[in-house]
Chains A and B, each alone.
Chain A
Amino acid sequence: MTIEIKTSTLEPVRNTFANIERRFGDKPASRYQEATYDLQAETNFHYRPLWQPEFELNDKNRTKIVMEDWYALKDPRQFYYGAYVQQRAKMQESAESSYGFFEKRNLAGYLSDDVENLLITYLIPLRHIENTANLNNMYGCAFGYGTAITQALLYNAMDRLGIAQYLSRIGLMLDGNTGQSLIESKQHWMENPAWQGMRALCEEMTTVEDWFEVVLAQNLVMDTLVFNLFYEQLDGKLAAMGGRDIAMLTEFMQAWNKDVSKWFDSVLKTVASESDENKALLHAWTEKWQSKVLDALKPVIQELLEPEALNLAVAELEKRIKKAGITA
């Protein structure tokens, strides 16, 4: 620096941007606040979308949920882009070292045919469910309202792509990078009767119009059940079958699920406590999708896990529903 002036002599004119000051008072703001609040255009749109002339470009009416201020849905993780990628890079680093270790020690070679079959039939097809989760979160991002929720949905969508890619890599490690296991696992997804309920449900979810409904169906109902069954309960079964090492490869998904649950539970809680109408909607949607997802999961889980597995997963979901205050 060529100019040396004591910092203390330079009094700032203001502490933060005016919109942040209006919300939180005249004091220094966090990077999350400055990069989140009021970024999205609110008014004076020039043209109606050719593809949805019934709405403005940014429109609160794309969901039945009503919020006085959509920026109330803040992210307890305070993720703006920089914070998000840095946090995920840390998780990625640890996943990379696990995948690297798994590969270097050729741990795939020690898996029994039964374990390998189980992974190809029941675990790797989850990459297609993650693809649906990516679409559903993108839908929420594109049609949602306010940066607070839409940026978090985008991070979530990109995470889902990442998880789908990790699942695919598990397949590639099993088949020695030929892609054979992914072809087989996709065949199960497309044709195995046990999976057809889930596939039909995934397809149906991508046609839901209300963005908050589909985001809830995905991030609360589907994810709680699927992550509990396939990453926690299946983990135990794999360990019993001599496939304990697989846990190294699904650690990312477990840690990720914890991280996003914290965020989405807080979103639901805020929406539910806004009004009885919101609460009733959330409740109705949760019931509707819980019954759909359970029906779809039944045939897979019957083949894969013990009879009480679904009940255990439902108990997990009920815990979250209660925590979020989504009651009748």
Chain B
Amino acid sequence: MSAKKLNLKDKYRLLTRDLDWEYSYVDRKKAFPYEEFEGIKITDWSKWEDPFRLTMDAYWKYQAEKEKKLYAIFDAFAQNNGHLNVTDARYVNAIKIFLTGVSPLEYQAYQGYAHVGRQFGGAGARVACQMQSIDELRHVQTQIHAMSHYNKYFDGFQDWTHMHDRVWYLSVPKSFFDDARSAGPFEFLIAISFSFEYVLTNLLFVPFMSGAAHNGDMATCTFGFSAQSDEARHMTLGLEIIKFLLEQHEDNVPIVQKWIDKWFWRGTRLLSIVAMMMDYMLPNKVMSWKEAWEVYFEEAGGALFKDLARYGIRMPKFVEVTEKEKEHVSHQAWWIFYNYGHAAGFHTWIPSDEELDWLSEKYPDTFDKYYRPRWELAKKMEAEGKRFYSQALPQLCTTCQIPMGFTEMDDPTQIAYRSSDYEGEKYHFCSDGCKHIFDEEPEKYVQSWLPVHQIYQGNCGGASVEEVLRDYYKLNLGADNLDIKGSPDEQRWKEWKGVA
């Protein structure tokens, strides 16, 4: 034969997108109907550069090897009561948040990528999304299996999927992903592949997995290592989608910028729970939230946005606010949970003296001035037997759904309130960023299932908060909630460790 042998790139093309063809018998738009309504212009799908080249046979082979190793460690972990090796019982609360708050997002990612993995007309993009879909399914399932052993010995894991659909603070992550999945296919990819996986993933995944590594949690840490090569693929998809959209048509630039603005802010709000986890919940600290933000967003993200400038993309809106927020957000978030510890599915506590000192050292400009006094007061009240829980239900931000506890960043003694009027109703927000997102798409955010509103409207069962917690959320009151001090978790831990 005279034809030339194929290079790897062309071969992969034949093994993926060449399977597709130009339709002649039905209107292709009927088969791929959602590509145009967002206003994105795709002039030529063939310009899509495959972000990675992995055929299914290789995928089965590599992933099976990874699973074999991972499950061998899960088995060993369970056989050897690996949970006894974590730093202390407080640590386990970080992974309760992970299972109830993050694993269901992996599930939604599986669903979201399945949807775009069917709906994109370009077969190259479709195949990449399908592979991410099955990876995300892997992540949720391996996380369940990693936590399965903890569930047998600690409270608060047991009803994670039921909780995710209902519990007030879990509507923060749930609404984040509902927002992305209910958007069009291109916004979904900018939201999740680019803004989340590429720009912010190091601030979610890395803190939890490093936290696990630093705190003797072999199951979670091994899962994290095992997922790394999947995540690397997901990040290349994030970079490809943004370059592809920006290069396809100049009219795409303002649309993409709008999505970056929205999803960057949505992402930072979601990460406030990670911030508090890093600063308050890990007995062995990895680094402070502020340091993580500086390394993973300000440095890495700064370089990325410099690269994107040639397409006419600028830094996300409100990025200057985050520069101030990194000093405050973890402290304010943990304070909210400390106040509502009776209504949470995990335990809360006052930082130890050493931990207070660590926070002072890591946050020299803000901690002693604004936050240490609160904890000193809480400590004093607790010692006097006056542990205080907020009984009133908080107002929630309509966009991010976090209780309105964040302050003005220039005046950390003043709670920030913003509002917008839409069709005769008033809507409340925690920040300019959240108000801006609402104002751009009010018809979407008026639909928000706000847990506190729903309780008041009687949609969550019982008349009292206690009934809601017990019957609607299915929390085991007295076991799952309240302080770690005196909890069954703590009692069992002491028995296992032989401490009085």
Measured CB to CB, the residues of A under 8 A from B are: 1-3, 5, 7, 10, 12-19, 31, 34-35, 38-51, 57-58, 80-82, 85-86, 88-89, 91-93, 95-96, 127-128, 130-131, 134-135, 138-139, 141-142, 147, 150-151, 154-155, 157-159, 161-162, 164-166, 168-169, 172, 175-180, 182, 186, 189-190, 196, 199-200, 203-204, 206-207
Q: Tell whether, in the assembled complex, residue A168 and residue B14 are in contact, meaning their CB atoms are under 8 Å apart.
A: yes
Using Cβ atoms and an 8 Å threshold, which residues of chain B touch A178? 1, 3-6
Using Cβ atoms and an 8 Å threshold, which residues of chain A touch B67? 81-82, 85-86
Q: Tell whether, in the assembled complex, residue A39 and residue B107 are in contact, meaning their CB atoms are under 8 Å apart.
A: yes
Measured CB to CB, the residues of B under 8 A from A are: 1, 3-6, 10-11, 14-16, 18-26, 30-31, 33-34, 37, 55-57, 59-61, 63-65, 67-68, 70-71, 79-81, 84-85, 104, 107-108, 110-111, 114-115, 117-119, 123, 127, 130-131, 133-134, 137-138, 140-142, 144-145, 148, 151-155, 157-162, 164-166, 171, 174-175, 178-179, 181-185, 444-445, 447-449, 454, 474, 488, 492, 496
Among the interface residues B22, B110, B179, which one has the most CB atoms of the partner chain A within 10 A?
B110
Q: How far in angstroms is the closest Cβ of chain A from B260?
A: 18
Q: Tell whether, in the assembled complex, residue B474 and residue A45 are in contact, meaning their CB atoms are under 8 Å apart.
A: no
Q: Tell whether, in the assembled complex, residue A39 and residue B153 are in contact, meaning their CB atoms are under 8 Å apart.
A: no
Q: How far in angstroms is the closest Cβ of chain B from A214?
A: 11
Judged by DSSP, the binding face of B is helix
Using Cβ atoms and an 8 Å threshold, which residues of chain B touch A203? 23-26, 31
Q: Tell whether, in the assembled complex, residue B141 and residue A80 are in contact, meaning their CB atoms are under 8 Å apart.
A: yes
The answer for the CA separation of A7 and B153 in the assembled complex, in Å, is 12
Using Cβ atoms and an 8 Å threshold, which residues of chain A touch B33? 51
Using Cβ atoms and an 8 Å threshold, which residues of chain A touch B496? 5, 10
14 A/B residue pairs, CB under 8 Å, sorted by A = A19-B159, A34-B148, A41-B104, A45-B449, A46-B175, A46-B178, A47-B445, A51-B33, A82-B138, A82-B145, A88-B60, A127-B19, A128-B20, A139-B118
Q: Tell whether, in the assembled complex, residue A89 and residue B6 are in contact, meaning their CB atoms are under 8 Å apart.
A: no
Using Cβ atoms and an 8 Å threshold, which residues of chain A touch B444? 47, 50
Among the interface residues B11, B14, B60, B85, which one has the most CB atoms of the partner chain A within 10 A?
B60
Known contacts A49-B182, A88-B64; 17 additional CB pairs below 8 A are A3-B84, A31-B145, A34-B145, A44-B165, A46-B448, A46-B449, A81-B137, A89-B65, A134-B19, A151-B137, A154-B137, A165-B16, A168-B14, A169-B15, A175-B1, A176-B5, A178-B4
Q: How far in angstroms is the closest Cβ of chain A from B30?
A: 4
Q: Tell whether, in the assembled complex, residue A175 and residue B137 are in contact, meaning their CB atoms are under 8 Å apart.
A: no
Using Cβ atoms and an 8 Å threshold, which residues of chain A touch B23? 203
Q: Tell whether, in the assembled complex, residue A165 and residue B55 are in contact, meaning their CB atoms are under 8 Å apart.
A: yes
**Cross-chain contact of B153 among A10, A82, A86 (Cβ < 8 A):** A10
**Cross-chain contact of A138 among B15, B114, B145 (Cβ < 8 A):** B114
Closest to A58 in B: B111
Q: Tell whether, in the assembled complex, residue B26 and residue A35 are in contact, meaning their CB atoms are under 8 Å apart.
A: no
Q: Tell whether, in the assembled complex, residue B447 and residue A47 are in contact, meaning their CB atoms are under 8 Å apart.
A: yes
The answer for the CA separation of A119 and B310 in the assembled complex, in Å, is 49
Q: Knowing A13-B153, A42-B165, A47-B178 touch, does A200 contact B19 (C-beta < 8 A)? A: no
Closest A-B pairs by Cβ, 6 of them: A162-B56, A89-B64, A178-B3, A12-B152, A200-B25, A138-B118
The answer for the CA separation of A96 and B64 in the assembled complex, in Å, is 15
Q: Tell whether, in the assembled complex, residue A142 and residue B26 are in contact, meaning their CB atoms are under 8 Å apart.
A: no
Q: Tell whether, in the assembled complex, residue B155 and residue A182 are in contact, meaning their CB atoms are under 8 Å apart.
A: no
Q: Tell whether, in the assembled complex, residue B14 and residue A179 are in contact, meaning their CB atoms are under 8 Å apart.
A: yes
Q: Knowing A5-B81, A177-B5 touch, does A57 contact B181 (C-beta < 8 A)? A: yes
Closest to B459 in A: A44
Q: Knowing A96-B57, A151-B137, A166-B57 touch, does A161 contact B127 (C-beta < 8 A)? A: yes
Using Cβ atoms and an 8 Å threshold, which residues of chain B touch A91? 60
Using Cβ atoms and an 8 Å threshold, which residues of chain A touch B24? 199, 203
Closest to A162 in B: B56
Q: Tell whether, in the assembled complex, residue A165 and residue B15 are in contact, meaning their CB atoms are under 8 Å apart.
A: yes
Using Cβ atoms and an 8 Å threshold, which residues of chain B touch A172? 6, 11, 14
Q: Tell whether, in the assembled complex, residue B162 and residue A164 are in contact, meaning their CB atoms are under 8 Å apart.
A: no
Using Cβ atoms and an 8 Å threshold, which residues of chain A touch B11? 172, 177, 179
Closest to B27 in A: A207
Q: How far in angstroms is the closest Cβ of chain A from B320?
A: 28
Q: Tell whether, in the assembled complex, residue A18 and residue B474 are in contact, meaning their CB atoms are under 8 Å apart.
A: yes
Using Cβ atoms and an 8 Å threshold, which residues of chain B touch A89? 60-61, 63-65
Q: Knowing A18-B159, A18-B162 touch, does A92 contact B57 (C-beta < 8 A)? A: yes
Closest to B181 in A: A57
The answer for the CA separation of A93 and B5 in the assembled complex, in Å, is 25
Q: How far in angstroms is the closest Cβ of chain A from B438?
A: 12
Using Cβ atoms and an 8 Å threshold, which residues of chain A touch B161? 17, 19, 38-39, 41
The answer for the CA separation of A252 and B274 in the assembled complex, in Å, is 45
Q: Tell whether, in the assembled complex, residue B107 and residue A7 are in contact, meaning their CB atoms are under 8 Å apart.
A: no
Q: How far in angstroms is the closest Cβ of chain B from A171?
A: 8
Q: Tell whether, in the assembled complex, residue A131 and residue B19 are in contact, meaning their CB atoms are under 8 Å apart.
A: yes
The answer for the CA separation of A12 and B117 in the assembled complex, in Å, is 41
**Cross-chain contact of A81 among B20, B138, B174 (Cβ < 8 A):** B138
Q: How far in angstroms is the closest Cβ of chain B from A208?
A: 10
Using Cβ atoms and an 8 Å threshold, which residues of chain A touch B155? 13
The answer for the CA separation of A89 and B65 in the assembled complex, in Å, is 9
